[in-house]
A and B are shown apart, each in its own frame.
Chain A
Amino acid sequence: MAEAASGPRAGSAPWFLSAPALLLFLGLLVIPLALTAVLSFHSFDGTRGVLPDFTARNYLEVFSDPYYYEIFLRTAGLALAVTLLSVLFGVPETIILSRMKAPWRGIFLIVILGPLLVSVVVRTLGWAILMGNNGLINAGLRALGLTDEPVRLLFTMTGVVIALTHVLMPFMVISVWASLQKLDPQVENAGLSFGAAPFTVFRRVILPQILPGILSGGIIVFALAASAFATPAILGGRRLKVVATAAYDEFLSTLNWPLGASIAILLLVANVIVIAGFNRWLERRYAQVFEG
């Protein structure tokens, strides 16, 4: 009876409730994305601008030009390096954090997550100041007598990787933190009580349980690093192009919108393939243990 009475309402209520979010997504994400996709199939003429035809020439151009290979490879390398570094530093950092006592834990969590509150551009400019030839890092290295020549960080991959790792580290920390919180605090003692040394307990008991958190943190960091724009643009300069900055340059410097659009679409597709594939593998690998 109650079901029959509430039937038609229940049918439309979810739609009404999700309508604002749906419209927002539709207007700000789906439509621009579709327009970009359509744009990527138009052609471009230096004198006449964008032509409303339908051609795969832009994609063929990207696929046939080693210049773009280099950019895509560099982007992939950057994303991988940043992901590895954020695992290498983020995981121990989170474990240390989770073992801190009451006031310090909260304080350091804010210290680690705080950078999220500052604009990426501002943070990256901060790194630029630190990394300059006369910046704090080089001044410090010289003062310690470790180097005579300034170490080149600005406008190098090293600099971009360092800064981007810092920018994206909080996402790794949050993800690992969440999986550590789900851990039964007694399993570590259980491991010890069976005669396993502390490192063995970490390797065989703790690590496997937080691995899904590390891997999903890795997905987030990889996706954000691969599509990062501000940090590579500011610290990498015009020469060290990544896919995002290459697309930007096509749009705003050469005004070749269709080519820029096709680069953007290819980045999106590559990202989706990598992430979805990895996620799929992850779910299949750990479904047995962690679902439900």
Chain B
Amino acid sequence: MTFLQLDQLGKTFGDFRAVESLSLDVERGEFISLLGPSGCGKTTTLQMVAGFVEPTRGRIRLNGADITAMRPEKRGMGVVFQSYALFPHMTVADNIGFGLEMRGMRGAEKLKRIDETLELVRLPGLGKRYPKELSGGQRQRVAIARALAVRPEVLLLDEPMSNLDAKLREDMHVELRGIQRHLGITTILVTHDQVEAMTMSDRIAVMHGGRIVQLATPYEAYERPESAFASSFLGKTNVLKGVVEARNMRCCEVRVGDSLLHVPHQEKPLAREVNVYVRPEKVKLAPASAANGIPATIRTRLFLGNHWLVEVDSALGPMRVSHPNIGAVPPAEGEAVALHWLDDDLRLLDTEAANG
């Protein structure tokens, strides 16, 4: 059953269309990420759900009730802001207690809930501190605790990790996801970080130019991007320009340079200019003598710990290969190799031009 429904939501600022006819159905307890670059309308969408921004058109429904015109203080949503927006003049406990007081919770019950929530975000005993006495990571936990303490029906997260360093961010991804599952809170996360979106979400809504261009599970969105934008925004990819030459029941034959690639079937007309996508980690490096490979020369190789990033000049043009750090090191710069991949790992999309 749909719990939170955005129905053809739109927002225009003057001449600028921040969000265009956006529809999204969120299930109860689901974790959805709005993923996109800055200016794609993701934060505006979140602010409309929170009630801080009034939609130009469309409706928002929560549990069947229309809340489009409801004031933000009546919506009962928990919000974690990018800046955390902690109240600097209040202690951590008072920050967390603020929302509880507004809901009429006082005395021992309130203190108990504050302690519980601090426990939940693993900050026990810090209630008496002021926000400025905390580290960035601790502040972020307080912001999350403050939003969770009121047991909101919907939790809205506006780029909550963008001020944390990489290591801390990874830890928080796992932790926040755990808390969200544990409490079963319906959550919408706004982020431009694809790793963050993939780690935490049940579904990802990839946004571009005020629209959702793809709504899918993280695996689906990564493996079967439906647009050039989604493909390049979620992870790295190699783009090969080609033309459809032949089709049969199983696959398209696409000519790229002098080579013919077999791409799993997608309805593309003949002679159509297309882009073939292949992820760097799907490409294998083989000795140049191996049969059926695409010949290539190693241009650079960078060691990144868990894998090598190898750039090659191939018969299809420059490509990137992600070579796992297993067994032997990849061939040195200047050496000839052959590139291999499974045809099933190739993806075919119209060029932007063909899309109009």
Contact = CB atoms under 8 A, between A and B. Distances in A.
B150 A195 contact: yes
Nearest to B156: A193
Interface residues of B, number: 29
A189 B85 CA distance: 9
Interface string A191-203: 1111111101000
Contacts of A200: 102
Contacts of B146: 194
Given A193-B78, A292-B132, A187 B87 contact: yes
A290 B88 CA distance: 8
A167 to B, nearest CB: 32
A18 interface: no
B73 to A, nearest CB: 5
Interface in A198-253: 198, 200, 204-205, 208-209
A80 B77 CA distance: 45
A197 B74 CA distance: 9
A184 B83 contact: yes
Contact of A194 (B52, B89, B102, B132): B102
A190 B102 contact: no
Contact of A289 (B78, B103, B132): B132
Contacts of B51: 192
A139 B50 CA distance: 53
Contacts of B71: 192
A275 to B, nearest CB: 24
Contacts of A187: 85-87
Contacts of B52: 189, 192
B209 interface: no
Contacts of B89: 208-209, 289-290
Contacts of B130: 288-289
A183 to B, nearest CB: 9
Interface string A165-197: 000000000000000000010110111111111
B324 interface: no
Contacts of A292: 132
B99 A195 contact: yes
Contacts of B73: 192-198
Contacts of A208: 89
A288 B88 CA distance: 10
Interface string A260-285: 00000000000000000000000000
B32 interface: no
Nearest to A197: B73
B81 A189 contact: yes
Interface of A: 184, 186-187, 189-198, 200, 204-205, 208-209, 288-290, 292
Q: Nearest 6 CB-CB pairs, A to B?
A: A194-B99, A186-B85, A195-B102, A190-B85, A193-B79, A192-B72
Interface of B: 50-52, 71-79, 81-83, 85-89, 98-99, 102-103, 130, 132, 146-147, 150
